[in-house]
Amino acid sequence: MNLETSQSQSLTTTDTSEISVYKGELTKFALVEQTKRVLNMFPKFPEPMLNELKNAFADNGFSDERMKDAVNYVRDTYEGWDKLPNIANFIQYDKKVKVLTYEQLLTVYNMNDYVAIDAGFSKPRWVLKDEQEKYKLKTWVLAKK
């Protein structure tokens, strides 16, 4: 594993009806910054576990933005302040949007509310226009495929 930069894995999940809104790379600088924050919040967080957390961020295709949001999520929602969070508390965080295939798009009431995006599949997927704009998801270019 190269911690200098680790390119985020595909936007897709094993469930092809949703994609993560996060893209980009995981940088060493961001890893250091966010693990310092974890230690500030949880000073008794053991160093071996902190090293495994760094590895888990990289192994699970986190980007800098997703990692920061995951740390913020644990900060804001963790209820065991007398205990330490575990790696899963951080890794489970993701923000996803529902995507439709063309066949599914044909069944929706207002198709004009959707736009085709490039989600890493061989064919486009459709998402609500508001979500495409909010998360800056890449639109599908027909000539590309």
Going from the C-alpha of 37 to that of each of 24, 25, 59, 86, 91, the distances in angstroms are 21, 19, 20, 15, 16
**Where in 48-138 does DSSP place strands (E)?**
96-98, 114-117, 125-128
- The pLDDT of residue 13 is 41
Residue 46, phi-psi category: left (phi > 0), alpha (psi -120 to 50), beta (remainder): beta
Q: How confident is the model at residue 30 (pLDDT cuts 50, 70, 90)?
A: very high
Does the pLDDT value for residue 92 go beyond 70?
yes
**What does DSSP assign to residue 137?**
P
- The pLDDT of residue 9 is 40
Q: Are 98 and 81 in contact (CB under 8 A)?
A: no
Does the pLDDT value for residue 114 go beyond 60?
yes
